[in-house]
Structure formats: structure tokens, C-alpha cells
Amino acid sequence: MRVGDRHEVKVDHVAFVVNPSSGGGGGDRLYLAIADQLRRHGVQIAAFETTLAGGARPAVEAALRAGFTEIWTIGGDGTILNTVRSLAHADVPMIGVNVGRLGFLTDIYPDDMESSLSEILDGKYHEEQRFLLEMAIKRGDEIISRGDAFNDVVVHIRDVVRMMEFETRIDDIFVSHQRADGIVVATPTGSTAYALSAGGPILHATMDAITLVPVSPHTLSSRPLVVDSASEITIIIHHTRQGTAQASCDGHSSIDVHAGDHILIRRKKKCITMLHPAQHNYFEILRAKLHWSEYS
């Protein structure tokens, strides 16, 4: 299906992944309100709570085993990031309901809940394909760790503010040797996360591109780089001076890396399908979250 198309699809089996601590405990209250509206429309629903220890994975796996055909998250961006990584192997669409603070990824808000739900229940919504990154850390001839990222893969020094030296290759072609605090390799979805704070560009969420954004580089000529999403990116760790370098996916799973390690990053084959209300407007979200002026 083409990104941005509107489809008439009946919503009938919805599993909720709920972060009960979001919004000061508002996740549970919001779920009850949504559940009431969905039940009145004959939708079969169930709720699965996230946990601090297991994240969203146990909830998502339980929902998939039960045969639910849609996953709705109730929480903030952290909840949806957790859920997406757990859904990376499944062809199940998802919707984000926001009770967090920022909400770049979750676009149904409590104040607009009733009208947004009515549109979705009528089958009037936008369907959007977004890709993830998969990371592998190679030490010698062995892959020592793997991970998936919806926002970004970040290589940085753990615990202390120290520079590191690393080499960047794209499709096995040498690009640069840098000294910096680290580097962010981001999807278009992640271009409004850490990459944005590090001075990277905002990419529309549906673009087929990956951004490489150095963090506090030790040269003024170092700039963010945008490459095709089919590119295979390799970060080779050189010297870390003091401190231990780490690679992390979405700021969640981190692993120590040593001089000589290769961090291999590429687009994951399976995409995540996100459903948005009919009135979803990506640029309106940017205006609201980044406090841009709204002249018409």
C-alpha cells in the first residue's frame, strides 16, 4: 500500500499496550475511556501492561499469541519505541495514543480522542510505512550483539564526557575519520529525536533516507550527512582515550565496544505500519512540538 493512502478497513480486534505510569497514572484512565467507546462499536479488545523489567515485549507477544490484528499503545514515545521493536517481526499495524510529554510518535491526544476514534472506527485513516535500523557489532570474525532501532543507533562514550575516534564507511567506501563525542545514525522517524538535538536535519517520516550526525565533532567542517536508506553503514572504533565506548539502539539496549570493533548498520527489511487519524498532519505536529509560528 502506498504511503499516505486512506483505506476503508474495519477495526475489530484491538490489543492495547498500556504504560500505566505515563501521565501520572493517566494511561489506565485513558484506556478505560477508549475501551468504552470501542466496545460500543462492537470491537473486541484486551489490555496488556508494559513492565519496567520486560518493557513492551511480553505485552506485545501476549497480544500476538491471542491473535489480535492491531496494536494500540497508550503512553509516550518511549512506550511506542518499545512496542515497535517488539513488533519488528510481525505484520501488525499500530496506533499511538499519547499521555506522555513530547509525543512526536503518538498522535492521538486525550482532547481529540473521541473525534479521532470515530474516524478510525469508520475506517478513515492514513496508513504509513516506516522502517527500522538493524545493528550488528562485529568483533574480529564474530557478531557479538544485535539490535533494532526505530529512532537511532548511537555510538558514544559511556559515563564520562570524553571524545572518541572512529571511522565511518558507507557501502564499504571510506567517508571520514573523526574525533567527536559520538555519532547518531538515525531513521527519518528518529530525525526529530537525539539527531535533532545534535544539529541534524529534520527528515519527513516517510523518506527513504538515513542521517549520520556527529555529536560535538572536534572540527567545524564536520556536518550531518544524509544517505539513501539502502546504504550499509559501518562505524569502526579507533581510540576512546579515557572511558568506555558504547553502542545503543533507541537509548535502550547498550553494549560496550572496543577499539577495532565494527558497528554495522542497515535498514531492516520489514517495516512497521502506523495508522494515523484522517486529520493527521506531520507538519502540524512539528509546529506544535518545536513551537514554530503558525502564520497562514
The answer to whether the beta carbons of residues 250 and 81 sit under 8 Å apart is: yes
58 by Cβ neighbours in 10 Å (0-12 / 13-18 / 19+) ranks as: middle
Provide the CB-side half-sphere exposure for 159 (13 A, CA). 7
* Calpha distance 252→223 (Å, rounded): 26
Known catalytic residue: 250?
Answer: no
The answer to whether the beta carbons of residues 179 and 218 sit under 8 Å apart is: yes
* Calpha distance 55→48 (Å, rounded): 11
The answer to whether the beta carbons of residues 186 and 210 sit under 8 Å apart is: yes
Longest distance between any two alpha carbons in the chain, whole Å: 62
Residue 267: beta bridge partners?
133
Q: Which of 77, 107, 148, 261 is catalytic?
A: 77
280-284: long-range contacts, CB 8 A cutoff, minimum separation 24: 280/107, 280/125, 280/126, 282/204, 282/205
**Residue type, position 161, single letter:** V
Query: Would strands 262-277 and 125-139 be described as parallel, antiparallel, or unpaired?
Result: antiparallel
Q: What angle do CA 186, 192, 196 make, to 5 degrees?
A: 80
Torsion from C-alpha of 86, 88, 89, 92, nearest 10 degrees: 90
Outline where 104-191 has alpha helix (H).
113-121
- Which residue, 61, 290, 256, 264, is CA-closest to 157? 256
Question: What residues are labeled active site?
Answer: 77
